[in-house]
Structure 1
Amino acid sequence: MADKIRALHLLVKHSGSRRPSSWREENITRSEAEAVEILKGYRDELANISDPNELKAKFKELAAKFSDCSSAKRGGDLGFFEPQSMQRKFSDATLALKPYEMSDVVSTDSGVHIILRLA
């Protein structure tokens, strides 16, 4: 498993996303700037949680309710994955994190994300 990493993420899509629809919304019309503002609100909610287990639980709760990714049903859990299997910006951001560290807003073709690396 050493070559694999594990992360949770919360995705907010926008009108410029590769597929601007999700399980939450059939037609996503928000701008990228609006998506970033929404995501910053979630990140602010998580930023002051220092206990790793509490952070993971709250992140999963937010992702389950608000992520535009189908991983929402798993609390945003992407499981173990090889970095090259993800979009480059996502992989680079995830690899730059230590376990239980959270990213800033990461923009990819899919939308904007916050990432919590688990392993």
Structure 2
Amino acid sequence: MATHHSAATHNDVGGQGEGKIRCSHLLVKHRDSRRPSSWREAEITRTKEEAIEILKGHERRIQSGEATLGDIAVSESDCSSARKKGDLGFFGHGEMQKEFEDAAFALQPGQVSGVVETASGVHLIQRVQ
């Protein structure tokens, strides 16, 4: 996903640079994902439709207040950012896949997206800052 999953880049010692936002996400991969494997599963065989249904279940839990995106990401996200509650750090335009970037930049801080499809899989994105 991101070129860098850290909160600061070499030119950005303090964290947030101009035009950058910070997001967390929850990724569910499927068999047609760019890399259909993760730290959770060596070979992902679910369909895209199954991945979307899984993600919608997570979305319902977040919307109901039962759990936060970060809490779910720790055990359920197929991204290595799961260990950081899905935190991708700060990023600017051109650093993420276009669909992800468009959805992330459209969010207000604290807001969670609906299902966002990219070549990596399907995501829920929460804008942090």
Structure-1-length-normalised TM-score: 0.91
Equivalents in 2 of 1:48, 1:84: separation in Å? 33
Tell me which of 62, 79, 83 is aligned to 1:73.
83
Give aligned pairs, total: 113
Q: Comparing both structures, which one devotes a greater share of its residues to helix?
A: 1
Aligned to 2:97: 87
Equivalents in 2 of 1:25, 1:47: separation in Å? 27
Aligned to 2:12: none
Aligned to 2:61: 45
Unpaired runs of 5+ residues, structure 2, are: 1-16
Q: Does 1:60 align with 2:70?
A: yes
Equivalents in 2 of 1:82, 1:62: separation in Å? 25
CA RMSD of superposed structures (Å):
1.3
Using the aligned pairs only, state the percent identity.
53
Equivalents in 2 of 1:48, 1:38: separation in Å? 16
Equivalents in 2 of 1:33, 1:26: separation in Å? 20
CA shift, 1:48, in A, is: 2.9
Structure-2-length-normalised TM-score: 0.84
CA shift, 1:84, in A, is: 1.1
- CA deviation profile, 1:37-86 (whole Å, cap 9, x unmatched): 0000000000133xxxx97xx21110010000000011100011113100
Equivalents in 1 of 2:125, 2:76: separation in Å? 14
Contact 1:43 1:114 in 2 (8 A): yes
Equivalents in 1 of 2:40, 2:110: separation in Å? 27
